[in-house]
Amino acid sequence: MAPTPVAPTPTAPTPVAPTPTAPTPVAPTPTAPTPVAPTPTAPTPVAPTPTAPTPVAPTPTAPTPVAPTSTIGTTPWGYLSIIGSGNGLGNVADASLVQTSSGDIRVYFKNGNEPQANISGFDNYIHSALSKDGGKTWSIESGVRIQVTSPVEVLPKTGGGYQAWGWKNAPGGDYLYYAESSDGLTFTEISIPGIDGTKCLTSTGVAMGPLFGDPTIAKLSDGTWLMHLQGFGVGNTGPQFARWACVATSPDGKTWTPVQSRSYGGTVDVETNPHIYMNKSGKVEWMWPNSLGVATRIGDGTTYGNPITYIKAGDPERLDLADGTELYAMGGFDHRGGGVLIFAKRITNSYQIASVTGGLPPTGKSPNAVLTWTVKGATESDISVMNLCLNKKVSDISGATVTMTTSNGVVTVVSADPANEHPCVYILVGPEKIMG
């Protein structure tokens, strides 16, 4: 795709799914090779959660050749830090960010087990970490924050304290969990009416449940509440995934009503948990992870402007700090190391970074085995290629290579790692470490 990164302008009320600015890729069909649209550089798989079955990356046995195309995403995010699996942590996933009254940043995350990465022995509950330097470094806080086995959404509570939503297992099926905390460390569950997931329907009336991803929630300027959540009851089988997201509204954040006319997904897959966020300007950011990146629209919660596409990421999360810094968290997964939480901040820059999609991966390998970018405005020495899940330069991974060539001021970067199956490889450009 070749989106033009401009400030989105609200349009007439159109509560419909954002349309990516590049043609929707179609997964290759092994039994009948035909020319298809370019294959995205990063397929669906992400670190799983107990309430949401994890898709397995499709592995075509007879990939169809397609012409490489350049997909230019908006790249305003400069790398800050990671929290990775290992060093006492299990498979980390699904960040939820808040700023404390003292100005620190707290991230809540799932600390789980993951058979694909041979990670076991962890409690699968919600843990937390604290940053005192704007997200550059993190200290893991001891103990369990919330005893639920699904990821959670944590938001500041009007009047002080915090409130959290997630899913909790029960004999009759998962229900929407709600809890409050005065200090952000100890949460007390409060019974709420919640949401009837059977009423989360696609545009054609098909139920998205019974399993859902973690809810993302925002309180709107008129005092009402908005929730988006990914469903797994339809479109959750490959090779061409077609998952949906449910949209629900609430007068108080406790009693929720799904709105079928605002459901989105299907033809354009909702790859991981979407995200909605009320930013410092009083606008709602709607982030929809799809095969081309994270399609982001800005509006009032009902009416949105044109999409901007950010770099591909799983489970995106936003937070504006009191000092004006805009933070962005995302998830990644590699079966060789487990999950990772990646933190970045918005940095104005003049680099032109494009992901080149299409072409053939090695036979029987994931499209992530070979990744290509072009970069303008930087030299080869300004660019590094990192697998952030492994916290290694790709060139330092056994069996992997990185090559760079420069022609007419454009640097072409090729990362080849035959064992790489998941989207966790990024280029970092310049001293700002702009991610592409």
Domain co-membership, 278 together with 379: no
Give Cβ neighbours of residue 309 (< 8 Å, ≥ 6 apart).
1, 3, 20, 21, 22, 73, 74, 292, 293, 294, 295, 296
- DSSP 8-state assignment for residue 35: -
Q: Output the domain CATH number for residue 188.
A: 2.115.10.20
Give pLDDT tens digits for 182-213.
999 999 999 999 999 999 999 999 999 888 98
pLDDT at 64: 35
For 312-345, the DSSP string reads: P-EEEEEEE-TTS-EEEEEEEEETTTEEEEEEEE
The verdict on 409 and 284 lying in the same domain is: no
- Please work out, in degrees rounded to the nearest 5, the angle formed at the alpha carbon of residue 18 by the alpha carbons of 63 and 348: 90
Indicate whether 283 and 387 sit together in one domain.
Answer: no
Looking only at Cα atoms, what is the longest distance across the chain? 64
Assess whether pLDDT exceeds 50 at residue 111.
yes
Q: Do 308 and 197 share a domain, yes or no? A: yes
The CA-atom distances, in angstroms, between 212 and each of 70, 78, 267 are 34, 31, 19
Domain for residue 6, yes or no? no
- Tell me if 213 is assigned to some domain: yes
Report, as an integer, the average pLDDT of 60-86: 66
Residue 70 domain flag: no
- Same-domain check for residues 334 and 371: no
At 312 the pLDDT is 86
Query: If you search the block for the tokens 């959290």, which residue do you land on?
Result: 164
Residue 380 sits at φ, ψ, to 5 deg, of -60, -35
pLDDT tens digits, 315-358: 999 999 999 999 999 999 999 999 999 999 999 999 999 988 65
DSSP string, 133-171: STTSS-EEEEEEEE--SS--EEEEPTTSSEEEEEEE--T
For the segment 21-33, the average pLDDT, to the nearest whole number, is: 36
Q: In total, how many domains does the chain have?
A: 2
374 against 3, higher pLDDT = 374
Do 150 and 296 sit in the same domain of this protein?
Answer: yes
Residue 278 φ then ψ, to 5°: -85, 110
Domain closes at, from 324, 348, 372? 348
Question: What is the percentage of the chain residues whose pLDDT exceeds 90?
Answer: 71
Neighbours of 5 (CB within 10 A): 13
Give the whole-angstrom CA distance, residue 166 versus residue 213: 9
Assigned domain for 48 exists: no
Q: Give the C-alpha separation, 204 to 179, whole Å.
A: 34
Are 273 and 192 found together in one domain?
Answer: yes
User: How many angstroms separate the CA atoms of 31 and 192, rounded?
Assistant: 49
Q: Quick one: pLDDT at residue 14?
A: 37
In angstroms, the CA 345 to CA 323 distance is 12
What separation in angstroms does the CA of 206 have from each of 194, 210, 231, 236, 255?
A: 21, 11, 11, 13, 22
Q: Kindly report the average pLDDT of the chain as a whole number.
A: 84
Last residue of a domain, one of 331, 348, 365: 348
Residues 15 and 263: their CA atoms lie apart, in Å, by: 9
pLDDT at 423: 81
Residue-level pLDDT at 54: 38
**Is position 201 within any domain?**
yes
Q: How far is CA 263 from CA 84, 196, 249, 273, 296, in A?
A: 33, 15, 12, 14, 16
For strand 125-131 and strand 139-146, is the pairing parallel, antiparallel, or unpaired? antiparallel
Tokens 């700090």 correspond to what residue?
Answer: 321
Confidence of residue 73 (pLDDT cuts 50, 70, 90): low
Q: How far apart are CA 327 and CA 309, in angstroms?
A: 17
Q: How far is CA 376 from the centre of its chain?
A: 26
In this prediction, residue 409 carries a pLDDT of 96
Residue 74 has pLDDT above 90, yes or no: no
**277 within a domain of the structure (yes/no):** yes
The length of the chain is 436
pLDDT band at 420 (very low <50, low <70, confident <90, very high): confident
Within-domain flag for 376: yes
d(CA 153, CA 323): 23
Which residues constitute the domain of residue 409? Answer: 356-435
pTM value?
A: 0.82
* Residue 135 pLDDT: 98
Q: Return the pLDDT at 31.
A: 37
Looking at residue 173, its pLDDT comes to 83
Cα angle 343, 348, 352; round to 5 = 95
